[in-house]
């Protein structure tokens, strides 16, 4: 073997006549032709016959998982400022890791993938891959592959790769490699070969080029206009996540011990935001608070449950064993919470007047929260009402949080304050509620 800057002088480890020899030698030739030095190049391989070639390269070498070398190489390439990352992948590996190739093309990672398509999985006995042409015979499918194949080059090209080519692995395709390696972004070269051990034996007399042609796999080049190359950019001056989050104590809470509040509503009812605002208002009133949410995976429908703990002392356990107060503003919230409401031996249940009161040991107070504030603000109005009748936390503290929450906050707070006034006359439960405090 001729002396190469990139290769050791040892004979390559492939079967006699295997086109992998040519892939390796043309790779070295093309890299030399581009003036690259071995330590400027990272070769990434994975599982398959091509993957045993690492020790023969004088480049950096990384030997990864079957089908994943293009994703691994993408990470290496994106983090480097220069040099060249070359990935070897078999047709089996390309089938396993098709997603990674599409991502490489979409993101335009700066690397070149060589797909050594010998039309079967060689190391595992010769089963067909997704690239194996229909009808091609292998040891594990001697009757011929029955299922269709796909055209990898066209898939990767349609995903946005700058340069894609398919070459016949029996000739000198080093010029195609020079061109591919010179692409600043992502390039892929599919080298069509016939496995000498399994392919030739089971498909005697068939030439590689004919097999490709009959399968509709034309040799050629497909290009897309150059686009921005993805390289990882580190910004070490990102601001702290803690800025603007400190809550100043501006009010005084009357709550002396600990209050567990369950808020039950529906998605879209701003239950979680309302509960978070009350938690913040409580902190602004000198208390400790926790707020947790429970909801199904659906975003726009179903129940939305918030659990709040307000306490004079630091809180450890953030669950509510049985709530002291429950605030229910929707059928979803009622349905989810009915069991827990049944466990309440005392305490207070605030429930929208349109809902049927459940069986509970809590004192029940009904108010037209939804009718007065609409579904989006019913939970907030109910919590304001709770503060009004229990005086655990000042109403002003929650109104302030509502004001601060968004650009529309002042208007919402003003409207809710008026609506809260409308509810006052209807309340006959002040004495009941105050028992809780």
Partner 1 sequence: MVLIDGSRLIIESLARAGADVFVGYPITPANLLYRYAIMRFPAALSAPDEITTMQWLCGFSATGLLPVTATSFPGFALMLESINMAYMMELPVVVVLAQRLGPATGSATAGADGDLLLLRGTISGGHPLPVLAVNRLEDCWTIPPLALETAAMLRTPVVILTSKEMVMTQFSFELEKLSEVKPVNRRGCSCDDHYESYAPGDDLVPDFLPVGNSRHQVRLNASTHNRQGIIQHLSAEGLENTARLEKKITLNLSRYTRYHLDEENGADTLIVAWGNAALAAEEALERLRLRGEKVSLLLPNTLLPVPAEYPAIMSRYRRVFVVEENLSGHLRTVLFGTQGRNGVVGVNSLGKMITPEEIVAKVMGKNG
Distance CA 199, CA 222 (A): 27
Q: Give which of 91, 87, 103 is closest to 188, Cα–Cα.
A: 87
> Total number of residues binding partner 1 (CB under 8 A)?
67
Q: Which is nearer to partner 1, 202 or 295 (CB)?
A: 295
Contact pick of 12, 75, 141, 154 for partner 1 (by CB under 8 A): 75
Question: Could you tell me if 307 and 320 are in contact, meaning their C-beta atoms sit under 8 angstroms apart?
Answer: yes
Site for partner 1 contains 161 (CB under 8 A): no
Q: Which is nearer to partner 1, 236 or 356 (CB)?
A: 236
Among the residue ranges 123-131, 195-203, 235-243, 392-400, the one whose residues contact partner 1 (CB under 8 A): 235-243
Stretch that binds partner 1, among 3-11, 198-206, 226-234, 373-381 (CB under 8 A): 226-234
236 binds partner 1 (CB under 8 A): yes
Residue 321 beta carbon to partner 1: minimum distance, rounded to whole angstroms: 5
CA separation, residue 282 to residues 227, 293, 309, 392, 405 (Å)? 52, 17, 10, 9, 15
User: By CB under 8 A, what part of segment 247-266 binds partner 1?
Assistant: 247, 249
Q: Which of 18, 24, 49, 78 binds partner 1 (CB under 8 A)?
A: 78
Close Cβ partners of 376 (under 8 Å, ≥ 6 residues apart): 268, 269, 270
Pairwise CA distance, residues 110 & 112, whole Å: 7
The closest of 388, 156, 202, 424 to 278, measured between CA atoms, is: 388
Angle between helices 395-405 and 409-424 (to 10 degrees): 150
Q: Could you tell me the smallest distance in angstroms from the CB atom of residue 210 to partner 1?
A: 35
Residue 356 engages partner 1 in binding (rule: CB under 8 A): no
Q: How many CB atoms lie within 10 A of CB 76?
A: 18
Among 80, 154, 201, 312, binds partner 1 (CB under 8 A): 80
Q: Does residue number 59 form part of the binding site for partner 1 (CB under 8 A)?
A: yes
By CB under 8 A, residue 52 contacts partner 1: yes
Rounded CA-CA distance 418/202 in Å is 86
Among 137, 280, 388, 436, binds partner 1 (CB under 8 A): 280
Q: What is the DSSP string of 175-217?
A: HHHHHHHT-SS-EEEEEE---TTTHHHHSTT--HHHHHHHTT-
Tokens for 193? Answer: 């070969």
Helix or strand or coil: residue 431?
Answer: helix
Among 18, 22, 28, 76, the residue binding partner 1 under the rule CB under 8 A is 76
The residue from 291, 324, 351, 416 that contacts partner 1 (CB under 8 A) is: 291
Choose which of 141, 292, 376, 403 interacts with partner 1 (CB under 8 A). Answer: 292
Our finding on whether 338 is near partner 1 (CB under 8 A) is: no
Residue 97-116 contact track with partner 1, rule CB under 8 A, x = bound = --xx--x-------------
Taking CB under 8 A as the rule, does residue 422 contact partner 1?
no
Q: How far apart are alpha carbons 118 and 128 in whole angstroms?
A: 10
Dist. CA 20–CA 14, nearest whole Å:
7
User: Could you say whether residue 55 binds partner 1 (CB under 8 A)?
Assistant: yes
Interacting residues toward partner 1 by CB under 8 A:
38-40, 42, 51-52, 54-55, 58-65, 68, 71-80, 83, 99-100, 103, 232-236, 238-242, 245-247, 249, 276, 279-280, 282-283, 287-297, 315-319, 321
């Amino acid at each position: 073997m001729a002396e190469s800057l990139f290769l050791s002088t040892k004979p390559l480890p492939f079967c006699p006549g295997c086109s992998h020899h040519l892939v390796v030698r043309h790779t070295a030739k093309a890299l030399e032709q581009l003036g690259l030095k071995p330590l400027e190049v990272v070769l990434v391989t994975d599982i398959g016959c091509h993957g045993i070639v690492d020790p023969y390269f004088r480049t950096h070498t990384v030997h990864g998982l079957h089908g994943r070398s293009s994703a691994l190489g993408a990470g290496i390439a994106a983090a480097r400022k220069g040099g060249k990352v070359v990935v070897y992948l078999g047709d089996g590996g390309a089938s396993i890791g098709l997603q990674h190739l599409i991502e490489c093309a979409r993101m335009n990672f700066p690397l070149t993938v060589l797909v050594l398509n010998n039309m079967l999985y060689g190391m595992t006995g010769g089963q067909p891959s997704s690239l194996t042409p229909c009808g091609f015979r292998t040891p594990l499918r001697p009757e011929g592959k029955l299922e269709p194949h796909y055209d990898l080059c066209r898939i990767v090209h349609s995903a946005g790769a700058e340069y894609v080519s398919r070459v016949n692995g029996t000739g000198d395709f080093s010029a195609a490699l020079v061109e591919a390696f010179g692409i600043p972004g992502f390039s892929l070269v599919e080298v069509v070969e016939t496995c000498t051990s399994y392919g030739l034996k089971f498909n005697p007399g068939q030439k590689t080029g004919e097999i490709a042609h009959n399968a509709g796999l034309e040799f050629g080049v497909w290009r897309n206009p150059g686009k921005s190359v993805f390289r990882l950019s580190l910004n070490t001056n990102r601001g702290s996540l803690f800025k603007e989050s400190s809550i100043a104590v501006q009010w005084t809470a009357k709550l002396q011990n600990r209050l567990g509040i369950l808020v039950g509503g529906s998605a879209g009812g701003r239950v979680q935001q309302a509960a978070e605002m009350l938690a913040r208002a409580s902190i602004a009133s000198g208390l400790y608070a926790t707020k947790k949410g429970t909801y199904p995976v659906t975003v726009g429908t179903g129940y939305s449950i918030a659990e709040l703990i307000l306490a004079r002392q630091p809180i450890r356990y953030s669950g509510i064993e049985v709530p002291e107060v429950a605030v229910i503003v929707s059928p979803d919230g009622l349905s989810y919470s009915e069991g827990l409401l049944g466990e309440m031996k005392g305490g207070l249940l605030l429930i929208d007047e349109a809902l049927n009161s459940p069986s509970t040991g809590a004192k029940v107070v009904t108010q037209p929260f939804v009718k007065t504030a609409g579904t989006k603000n019913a939970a907030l109005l109910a919590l304001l009402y709770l503060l009004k009748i229990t005086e655990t936390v000042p109403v002003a503290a929650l109104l302030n949080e509502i004001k601060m929450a968004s650009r529309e906050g002042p208007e919402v707070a003003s409207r809710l304050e008026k609506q809260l006034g409308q509810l006052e006359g209807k309340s006959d439960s002040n004495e009941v509620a105050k028992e809780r405090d």
